[in-house]
Chains A and B, each alone.
Chain A
């Protein structure tokens, strides 16, 4: 629960201040922690911290008419901060769900995108976990995103150029040719 205790109050504070930079940094830290301690709670927190950073980066979601929904998100976060030390895993998951419901309410006012903030956040986090070195199966299971969606997303990024491969393309083609001749 270290991640939770350490990061949730900071996420709440950054969200209240609408500090996108801080939220992104916190999201990076949660991501790193999640890779080391890959619990469902940490995965969920990674997704939520990403989504909150996206919310504060979009002026259309910070307008006057969005304030009630933003307050509801803040209220859910405050509840989480208060209860996190005494709550068990299922209670924490319920509180995460409450935050996610409030995020969806925020979007209901302006549903201009086919993929919602939460789905996009889950996809982005799943692709990041895969890029960090988790297998596709684990990234898919933990985020609830289809493997193919993660692959499509990863395929359009530079992630496969970042890791130095053990074998050169020439060596790989040699293996492929051996398959047909052997």
Chain B
């Protein structure tokens, strides 16, 4: 079976490991040949720094992510793309303007994920961070969101918006929640027998409370369709 690559952000790895759902990564790697790719900055943030600085709160996640890296389920790819990252950041942070000033939307770490996906030709990106996800899927939604939040007119630099769309390419985004739901459909929770549906719902709430950008409404909607 052909390897299928997915770029993953630190938030996803941390919420999966801290929810004891990281076996999902192994499940997908073994059964569906998925490979989860991270840039070095994600390894640094989620593994190296917590281990080096002995940050107790994050040690458990850090060790489990390190295990997944050692097992080859999570792969670190250093594409050395500093210039590209700078360029894309400059484009993305100069799309929306309020009172003549650009709104700074995304950070280096988030931009690195997008550039890495482009460089490796990876079509899927797994991220729970909302702003970057919306920027990929429907940037104009952000304009509406800002106007609602700040009660101001938001101007759009269409040229930069087009450049961003061109640079990002046809990226498809997934959240941890979809990974969990799909795992349920593929029998991942079967061992819980009569509690299979309950454990799915509990897992969805657990990752929601860990910051996955899924709404309570969406969880209810999915659960109402589960037999």
In the complex, what's the smallest C-beta–C-beta distance from B217 to chain A, in angstroms?
6
Chain A residues within 8 Å of chain B by Cβ, number: 42
Extra A-B contacts (11), CB below 8 Å, given A136-B110, A155-B211, A160-B214: A32-B149, A32-B150, A36-B101, A36-B152, A137-B106, A147-B45, A148-B11, A150-B211, A166-B137, A175-B174, A179-B174
Complex alpha-carbon distance, A146 and B132, angstroms? 18
Are A164 and B211 closer than 8 Å at their CB atoms? no
Q: Taking CB as reference atom, which chain A residue is nearest B131?
A: A135
Segment of A56-64, A117-125, A126-134 in the binding face: A126-134
In the complex, what's the smallest C-beta–C-beta distance from A111 to chain B, in angstroms?
20
Complex alpha-carbon distance, A7 and B92, angstroms? 30
Q: Taking CB as reference atom, which chain A residue is nearest B5?
A: A179
Q: Which of A147-161 contact B (CB under 8 A)?
A: 147-148, 150-152, 154-156, 158, 160-161
A interface, CB within 8 angstroms of B: 32, 35-38, 130, 132-138, 140-141, 146-148, 150-152, 154-156, 158, 160-161, 163-167, 169, 172-173, 175-180, 182
Most B CB atoms within 10 A — which of A133, A177, A180?
A133
Complex alpha-carbon distance, A152 and B104, angstroms? 23
Complex alpha-carbon distance, A172 and B213, angstroms? 13
B interface, CB within 8 angstroms of A: 4, 6, 10-11, 14-15, 18, 28, 32, 34, 45, 58, 98-99, 101, 103-110, 124, 128-132, 134, 137-138, 141-142, 145-146, 149-152, 172-175, 178-179, 181-182, 185-186, 208-218, 221-222
Are A138 and B178 closer than 8 Å at their CB atoms? no
By a CB distance below 8 angstroms, the chain A residues around B152 are 36
> A150-B211, A151-B210, A152-B210 given as contacts; is B103 within 8 A of A35 (CB)?
yes
> A135-B110, A141-B107, A167-B137 given as contacts; is B218 within 8 A of A147 (CB)?
no
Are B217 and A151 closer than 8 Å at their CB atoms? no
Q: Taking CB as reference atom, which chain A residue is nearest B221?
A: A169
Are B130 and A137 closer than 8 Å at their CB atoms? no
Q: Taking CB as reference atom, which chain B residue is nearest A154?
A: B211
Q: Taking CB as reference atom, which chain A residue is nearest B180?
A: A176
> A148-B11, A180-B182 given as contacts; is B129 within 8 A of A135 (CB)?
yes
By a CB distance below 8 angstroms, the chain A residues around B217 are 161
Those 9 A-B pairs whose CB atoms lie nearest each other, nearest first: A151-B211, A137-B107, A166-B138, A161-B215, A176-B178, A135-B131, A155-B211, A155-B209, A135-B106
In the complex, what's the smallest C-beta–C-beta distance from A105 to chain B, in angstroms?
26
